Chain A
């Protein structure tokens, strides 16, 4: 696991993402509060088991962030989107998610900053393994997304510029199970 994590982090950072390790779900909130403060106050949060386990909504509200309501305007004005991914792919620093859920797609794409929560145990070596994992789940998702680094373009004078349509900042929080072996 450690070598997969190492390769995943190195590749994701080469692609322009920032990778932070939380050794347990409880550590997520303090890390986010510290890192998100300079990026704005309005958050589009997608509820997932990990978000619940970390009690993120309450912690972020307590720290003064505003959490967006569901509805037609969801994520449109948010500064930050928080979503959970299903798998990491070490080879390319990529994350995969079943993004059939509308909120998941909106929160990951509309705000200028995106926080991706990724369970440490879900990092795989290759795309082939991830495809196998989804196939094992039984039904193939209607909308599967692979994300590697922030949104980028080199369309003007081949000069690399980030944040063209999607997020310009991708913060990946790799979350350990609290077993203590995964910390730095």
Chain B
């Protein structure tokens, strides 16, 4: 159950129009500038290099921390190993008090936010002054939450900043950005020149030379580490890398992935105490390094989550996240946001704190494509979801739906049949449910729901087997339909029979098949998922087919990957799951093979062509990599002219039960997708995921759009009207 506080945060963020506008325009610009700065570079090779460096380091933190500490001490600095936040806070306060510090300057440090340093120092009479412009603005606005990890004040308008500065100075300030920046320079310069201590974070820490690397554009870290006579750096263990050379790939990726820059204006590498003006003359300043564990060793020892320590904190995962663009960092934890944020929060704070925010992930996998640390973030979020469910149990709604219904195929199928009969009052005999009464109404906001088919596919299959009977089949395929094709869009199943029959494939439909279990897996309910995996393996084995064909990428991923993983602890079942997985093929993959990969190129016939645009379903493209195969098949289909839409591979917002759990997030994501489809000028939009069809068909229906939504199988079956 989501906490009330989380729901409020979500509601506030979703209703903040300047926040949404800022994040949307940043998100659009980011994709372009990121591509430009990486052009001519081998991003895959770069991220593999970074992943290897960081992963190696994560296996050797203890040894690297020792090496780093010895080097710091040899150069005259001091290191404090802080096992948790409290130890770090106490040490930092002690250093400040020993020097009689009343005011200190800080350059941006996630670790300092993670240990709630500012509040603690203030309670003990030491005033910390943030010097990164955005951090300072937020510091002057008590109660305001950062909206982005790299640009925490991106949601504020210049008028709001002017108001904050007016309050601070006690005199009116003009809402002019360059004047506001000049005021910040003047005011913070006073702090730099009088502060008794400077606190910085670190982007990288090199064990062999004890070098702390800090990147900024403003130059505030350089001033923080130059003027005051004491420098204290807070360094999370995950910043450690073994060798000096290791910083090169990280420095290549961090600014490019972070802000679309080739390099930040300032990169500072500190490896020991340097002179400062102290009293009457120059002498070496004091250098302290707090090496912070606070959950990092535990993470490094975790075989699943160790991968998250490959993060270099560029925030590119949030920059491309369709959900983050709507809710911003304000909906996430206080320090780390987005998909990677919930994983870090689970270890650096608590699993409880991560429980709500992990549920915001759509699993669209866009972040995994751009992560310079090569972290499979959506996969880790899913694993985290399982841990949350293991600890807290399923929410009552999910429990009833999954344990009570989905895990019992017979019951579920008869309920769906009953629903097909009972839905008439809301469908009015059409194929849509356009409005739902009372508290169900958000479910049909901006999107009609599909009606349940009057006759499910499982009742049509015998007739179709006869109708598309192949005399001498050279291949036997068993269709795994999945729930949406079976109970909502049986016509897609028919199209598959038709197309495959054309190529001499006899298709059968094993009646024992049930839901693939993905809805349970994505909700963190392995118990139901395991049960369904076994039912399906048994049913599909019985069909004795050469190939198991699917037309739903979510089902395909379940059959190809998830079953094997779910059953890994039961040797006999896991063997059967592996044997099955080898035979599973997506419909487009199979058709492509049947046409022996022959590319007929663009169809050049005389018929009138229909403009078709293609929507990339997340799992179809990012888990199965079939996006170009589908396009090839469509292009060579007579009468089809393929036109691309903007952001063709952006999620439609369906994401299984997500659109029911978070209709307020799913709806605006869908709206953007619909705009792209309409702007493409296509008459038909094709896709390969029945879930996306539910979402997009429903959205276009509410707009009364004439654009037709088709599964690629339907287009290949020449069912274009």
> A interface vs B, CB < 8 Å?
11, 15, 72, 74, 76, 91-92, 94, 100-102, 105-106, 109-110, 127-128, 131, 135, 140-159, 161, 163-166
A151 near B245: Cβ-Cβ < 8 Å: no
Cβ contacts B421-449/A at 8 Å (1 or 0 each): 00000000000000000000000000000
Count, chain B residues at interface, CB 8 A: 62
A151 near B265: Cβ-Cβ < 8 Å: yes
B226 near A149: Cβ-Cβ < 8 Å: no
Whether B282 sits at the interface, judged by CB under 8 Å, is yes
A145 CA to B273 CA, complexed, in Å: 14
A167 → chain B closest CB, angstroms: 8
Which of the segments B156-164, B302-310, B362-370, B571-579 contacts the partner chain?
B156-164
Give the residues in chain B near A152, CB-CB below 8 Å: 217-218, 265
Give the residues in chain A near B154, CB-CB below 8 Å: 155, 158
Give the residues in chain B near A163, CB-CB below 8 Å: 181-182, 185
Give the residues in chain A near B638, CB-CB below 8 Å: none
The 8 Å CB contact of A102, one of B134, B185, B276, is B276
A105 near B26: Cβ-Cβ < 8 Å: no
Give the residues in chain B near A11, CB-CB below 8 Å: 262
Q: A109-B223, A157-B158 are in contact. List 16 more A-B contacts (CB 8 A).
A: A91-B262, A101-B275, A105-B222, A106-B227, A110-B223, A140-B209, A140-B244, A143-B269, A148-B263, A148-B265, A152-B218, A154-B217, A157-B157, A165-B189, A166-B219, A166-B222
The 8 Å CB contact of B226, one of A106, A141, A161, is A106
Closest CB pairs A-B (n = 10): A166-B219, A142-B272, A155-B134, A146-B267, A151-B219, A144-B269, A155-B133, A105-B226, A102-B275, A165-B219
Cβ contacts B234-253/A at 8 Å (1 or 0 each): 00000000001101100100
Whether B75 sits at the interface, judged by CB under 8 Å, is yes
Q: Which of A101, A109, A147, A155 has the most CB of B within 10 A?
A: A155
A144 CA to B268 CA, complexed, in Å: 6
Cβ contacts B256-300/A at 8 Å (1 or 0 each): 000100111111111111111100001000000000000000000
Q: Which of B133, B181, B244 has the most CB of A within 10 A?
A: B181
A147 → chain B closest CB, angstroms: 6
User: How many contacting A-B pairs (Cβ < 8 A)?
Assistant: 154
Give the residues from 1 to 60 in chain B that come closer than 8 angstroms, CB to CB, to chain A: 22, 25-26, 29
Give the residues in chain B near A147, CB-CB below 8 Å: 265-266
Q: Known: A102-B274, A156-B177. Is A151-B75 also a contact (CB below 8 A)? A: no
A146 near B266: Cβ-Cβ < 8 Å: yes
A109 → chain B closest CB, angstroms: 5
> B interface vs A, CB < 8 Å?
22, 25-26, 29, 75, 131-134, 137, 151, 153-154, 156-158, 161, 177-178, 180-182, 184-185, 188-189, 192-193, 209, 211, 217-220, 222-223, 225-227, 244-245, 247-248, 251, 259, 262-277, 282
Give the residues in chain A near B266, CB-CB below 8 Å: 145-148, 151, 166
A161 CA to B378 CA, complexed, in Å: 36
B268 near A155: Cβ-Cβ < 8 Å: no
B483 → chain A closest CB, angstroms: 44
The 8 Å CB contact of A127, one of B134, B225, B248, B271, is B248
A34 → chain B closest CB, angstroms: 26
A94 CA to B189 CA, complexed, in Å: 25
B218 near A156: Cβ-Cβ < 8 Å: no
CB nearest neighbor in B for A128: B248
A46 → chain B closest CB, angstroms: 13
30 contacts between A and B (CB under 8 A): A11-B262, A15-B263, A15-B265, A102-B282, A109-B219, A109-B223, A109-B226, A127-B251, A131-B244, A131-B247, A131-B248, A140-B211, A142-B272, A143-B270, A143-B271, A144-B269, A149-B265, A152-B218, A153-B217, A154-B259, A156-B177, A156-B180, A158-B22, A159-B177, A161-B178, A163-B181, A164-B133, A164-B218, A164-B220, A165-B222
A151 → chain B closest CB, angstroms: 4
Query: SS class of chain A's interface: helix, strand, loop or mixed?
Result: loop
Give the residues in chain B near A151, CB-CB below 8 Å: 217-219, 265-266
A103 → chain B closest CB, angstroms: 9
A74 CA to B209 CA, complexed, in Å: 31
Give the residues in chain A near B161, CB-CB below 8 Å: 156
Q: Which of A110, A127, A143, A153 has the most CB of B within 10 A?
A: A153
Give the residues in chain B near A100, CB-CB below 8 Å: 274-275
A101 CA to B226 CA, complexed, in Å: 10
B26 near A158: Cβ-Cβ < 8 Å: yes
Q: Known: A156-B156, A164-B184. Is A76-B267 also a contact (CB below 8 A)? A: no
Q: Which of A11, A146, A147, A156 has the most CB of B within 10 A?
A: A156
Give the residues in chain A near B192, CB-CB below 8 Å: 165
A106 → chain B closest CB, angstroms: 7
B162 → chain A closest CB, angstroms: 10
Give the residues in chain B near A102, CB-CB below 8 Å: 226, 274-277, 282
Give the residues in chain A near B222, CB-CB below 8 Å: 105, 109, 145, 165-166
A127 CA to B218 CA, complexed, in Å: 21
Give the residues in chain B near A158, CB-CB below 8 Å: 22, 25-26, 29, 151, 154
A63 CA to B119 CA, complexed, in Å: 52
The 8 Å CB contact of B219, one of A156, A159, A161, A164, is A164
Q: Known: A151-B217, A165-B223. Is A145-B269 also a contact (CB below 8 A)? A: yes
A2 → chain B closest CB, angstroms: 22
A151 CA to B223 CA, complexed, in Å: 12
A140 near B271: Cβ-Cβ < 8 Å: yes
A161 → chain B closest CB, angstroms: 5
